[in-house]
Amino acid sequence: MTAAGTDTEAAPAAAPSLGRKVGSAAKWSLINTVVMRLGNFVTGIILARFFLGPEAWGVYGIAQTVLLVLLSANELGVSLAIVRWEGDPRRFAPTVLTLSALSSGLLYAVLFAVAPAVAVVLGSPEASGVLRVMCLCVVLDGLSQVPAGFLTREFAQGRRMAVDGLNFVLSTAVTLLLAVDGWGAMSFAWGSVAGNVAALIGCCLAAPGTLRFGWDREQAKALLRFGLPLAGASMLALGVVNVDTMVVGSALDALALGFYVLAFNISGWPVRIISEAARRVSFAGFSRLADSPQALAAGFGRALGVVMTATVPLCVLLAALAGPLVELIYGARWLPAARALPWLMALGLVRIGCELAYDCLVAIGRRRSLIGVQGLWLVLLVPALVVGARTGGIVGVAQGHVLVAGAVVVPVFLLALHRGGIRLGTVARACAWPFLGGVVMTAVVLGLERYLGDGVLALLAIGTAGTLVYGLCVLPSRSLLRGQAA
């Protein structure tokens, strides 16, 4: 889609260097994501082992869930126009910023008013104050969307890494200091606010001149027509990922909620490390290929192959060694979280593929398909999770997730991709070798655990052997991953 009145002559000039830009951006994005997630991982271990118990994690999980749902629609989807539309984005960026600031401010005002009622409904009345503080990030994020969009459009992931590093350092420092002082879940809230303030300042410095307000009525109409369907699909997608926390909070007790939040966070490690790195590049890359169905299909197949090859071994290790790893890293009191982890790792693998498909469908303009898929997913998921919580606790909730995702959502996404020109054979070729390697790796890991035990040295040996076996299994796919396959 092209913005009304924008200049399209600059678009072809970027084409010759697209591959180089995407490759460089992907490298920086992966480094950024790995470094930030390892930092968050270490911080989480320190907090869980020494300062915060399951109840505090449950309150934090509720607040984080509400925040993520609000962030999915805080700028009405219009900021994606900075990345997607052709021409000079500085001509319509002021209108984007005005819309984003107004919508995020209104969302926060509504949340502030209803926070006590929301906290009660979700089973954590004490989360009200945490909600009001943490969701200040909605306003800060709305303001940073335009400069962040310019960084994504320009594939400037090196500068983005510097911004995220500033965010991480400040948010972690504030969270740890307040946790040591006994602030409990509120330490997460103020840490998040401090980090988002730093990110806003960093984005403005990395993309100077982009934080300018303005208004053009015709541009606003075009932006809303473009963004509202995306915001709706994004909200549904975030609802799918976070409705389980709401169900566990309302159907089970605070202790179960804390265990589930920890297990879900662990299952998200591969998603965050691999999928976040890919998605910072994938939407911009797919957008450039949207006019060539053959190139788009080849690009999607290669991208899916890369993320699956990188993710499967992480999922296998965390699923097969869930109990020993949780006890080793977090301590014995967190062991109940390990029971749900194998199922959540399977869900994490599905999520990675679906998120990449989501970006591809957005890039080719199939927004109605996305709303339909996400809406169906959410409608089927809620009763499955409620039944699972009542019959199997947090394990039942995780099983309900996997059942709906595998039996319904994956086939529907495949159908939507097929209608967009990406055939089932492309997806199968991308996933075949990683899935075969995952099956073999699972057998090796479980077999070695039976004989070697679950000590620290044993776990290192098992992980190393399983990874080596997996690497041998996926070697035949290296031509596809390099983009050399037909």
List C-alpha distances in Å: 165 to 33, 93, 147, 199, 251: 10, 25, 16, 9, 38
Q: How confident is the model at residue 486 (pLDDT cuts 50, 70, 90)?
A: very low
Query: What's the whole-number average pLDDT of the chain?
Result: 80
Examine the pLDDT at 185 and tell me if it is beyond 50.
Answer: yes
**Structure token digits, residue 126:** 């004490």
pLDDT in the model for residue 27? 61
Per residue in 269-295, pLDDT (tens digit) is 776 777 666 665 665 667 666 667 788
pLDDT in the model for residue 361? 81
Number of alpha carbons in the 13 Å side-chain half-sphere of residue 281: 29
pLDDT in the model for residue 119? 80
Examine the pLDDT at 16 and tell me if it is beyond 50.
Answer: no
Answer for the pair 69, 235: CB distance below 8 angstroms, yes or no: yes
Question: Alpha-carbon dihedral of residues 22, 28, 30, 34, nearest 10 degrees?
Answer: -170
Examine the pLDDT at 484 and tell me if it is beyond 70.
Answer: no
Answer for the pair 314, 437: CB distance below 8 angstroms, yes or no: no
Sign of the Cα torsion 19, 24, 25, 29 reads positive
DSSP string, 254-318: HHHHHHHHHHHHHHHHHIIIIIHHHHHHHHHHHHHHTT-HHHHHHHHHHHHHHHHHHHHHHHHHH
Q: How confident is the model at residue 345 (pLDDT cuts 50, 70, 90)?
A: very high
Buried b / exposed e over 247-271, threshold 16 CB at 10 Å, is bbbbbbebebbbbbbbbbbbbbbbb
Of 146-160, 300-314, 423-437, minimum mean pLDDT range: 146-160
Q: How confident is the model at residue 320 (pLDDT cuts 50, 70, 90)?
A: very high
Examine the pLDDT at 216 and tell me if it is beyond 70.
Answer: yes
Q: How confident is the model at residue 395 (pLDDT cuts 50, 70, 90)?
A: very high
User: What value does the mean pLDDT take over residues 129-137?
Assistant: 86
**Structure token digits, residue 250:** 């309302």
Per residue in 403-454, pLDDT (tens digit) is 999 998 899 989 888 887 888 888 898 889 999 999 999 999 999 988 888 8
User: What value does the mean pLDDT take over residues 252-274?
Assistant: 81
pLDDT in the model for residue 228? 72
pLDDT in the model for residue 471? 92
pLDDT in the model for residue 438? 93
pLDDT in the model for residue 445? 94
